[in-house]
Structure 1
Amino acid sequence: MRSRDGRPSMIEAVTLGLVATGAVSIGVASVVGAVGAGVEIFGSPVPVSLPVHGAGMASLSDAEGIAAAEYTQSLVSVDSLDAGARWLLFAEVALPTVATVIVCLSLWWLGLSLIRQRAFRRSMASVLGTAAIALVAAGMIGPFLGGIGRAEVVERLEMSGADTSQFWAFLVSADLAPIGWGIALALVATAFEVGQRLQRETEGLV
């Protein structure tokens, strides 16, 4: 409910304030997580999760009711890794973090604008559009860069004489959820652009 002068009620203001605060908190937590991942990636040894295939679980091979059991990931700690592979692995983590921060800042700006009754300000569509592009880009580019980085790790293991037959030479596993959210956010940005245009036309008629 809104007050008589059209301003948000106390409950609405508190709710919007909590949403804005929660968005900022999520953004900060994402940055902290990315920093922690960066410390591991640029440290030594470097723990790398490599996708495997055909690696059976001997402990479950004879278990009753189990048709098949295989490992799909193997955590390999590499003593030394070139800077290019490290940056590719870090980019896989950093790009989603940047997208998350942009989305959280957009939600904070939206909450603040709603509290001030200025939801259809000129910058809102641009802010939401930028967040949508960031989500789609992170969902598409991040996994691809990570796949290249892991492929370089597998190549290094092969050059060192290790048996890499059970590792995928190159595999990209992409989560389509960020791309879907990005498309949805782009539609919201379009709605704000239409709302801003209608607001200008209405003000012109008054």
Structure 2
Amino acid sequence: MSRNTTPSRLEAVTLGVVATGAVSIAIASVVGATGAAVEIFGSPVPVSLPVHDVPMDDMADAAGVVAAEYTQSLVSFDSLAAGTRWLLWGESALPALATVIVCLSLWWLGLSLIRQRAFRRSMAPVLGTAAIALVFAGMFAPFLGAVARAQVVEQLPASDAGMFWTLLYQLDPAPVGWGIALALVATAFEVGQRLQKETEGLV
């Protein structure tokens, strides 16, 4: 796409829909994080705790079932320490923040494409910031949740705490992988911007 051409009506509509959808998803993420805050900082506080070695006795004799056990238990507490609440909310807030940054980056990209200025100077830093946000949220959000749940398990009676994992950190590699891919896209835009400058200089 050059400076002397304009996108077709279909391209403009498609880019507009993508940009609008990105903003809508960003708003939904903010609403979701706000709802999580209301739940976590209220009372009672529901906390999903990972359990281990808890068999499902009701399915022990089911046909075709070799083994069955519970992996999660939802436990509601009438009170939790403020630090634990903040850690639990951080587990939800970090992915929501990363989603907002990525969606705003897509909105900016769509707007730039509509205006025929895809390789503007700000594009690479914007996409790079989104990539860092994805990797950071993907790595640290589950860590905050693991620490928070470890603190919750510590306040349980010893007779009941044995069924829960003391510290269980489960990393989802998908956000990290998407962040790395987005970083490569940001690098491509940086190269494109440099080539565009060189071409304009030759002209």
Which TM-score band applies after superposition, normalised by the shorter structure? over 0.9
Deviation at 1:188, TM superposition (A): 0.2
Separation of aligned partners in 1, 2:77 and 2:156: 9
One-letter amino acid of the structure 2 residue matched with residue 179 of structure 1: V
Tell me what 1:191 maps to: 188
What CA deviation, in whole Å up to 9, does each residue of 1:155-192 have, x standing for no partner?
0113xx55111100000112111000000000000000
Q: CA deviation at 1:62?
A: 1.2
User: In the alignment, does 2:166 pair up with 1:169?
Assistant: yes
Q: Who is 1:21 aligned against?
A: 20
1:205 Cα deviation from its structure 2 partner: 1.1
Which residue of structure 2 aligns with residue 64 of structure 1? 63
SS at match of 2:50: strand
Say whether residues 1:47 and 2:31 are aligned partners: no
* Gapped regions of structure 1 (runs ≥ 5): none
- CA deviation vs aligned residue, 1:118-152 (integer Å, no higher than 9, x gap): 00000000000000000000000110011000000
What TM-score do the two structures reach when normalised by structure 1?
0.96
The structural deviation recorded for 1:11 is 0.2
The aligned length equals 202
Identity of aligned residues (%): 74
Output the amino acid matched with 2:187: T
How do 1:141-180 residues align onto structure 2 when only pairs under 5 Å count? Answer: 141-158=140-157, 162-180=159-177
> Which ranges of 4 or more aligned residues in structure 1 deviate by more than 6 Å?
none
Q: Which amino acid aligns with 1:60?
A: M
Q: Which structure 2 segments of 5+ residues have no match? A: none
In structure 2, C-alpha distance between the alignment counterparts of 1:47 and 1:163, rounded to whole Å: 17
2-side partners of 1:79 and 1:157: how far apart?
Answer: 13
Question: Following TM superposition, by how much is the alpha carbon of 1:98 offset from its aligned partner in structure 2, in angstroms?
Answer: 0.3
Alignment partner of 1:128 is 2:121: no
2:62 and 2:116 map into 1 onto residues whose CA distance is 63
Cα RMSD for the two superposed structures: 1.2
* Letter of the 2:193 counterpart: Q
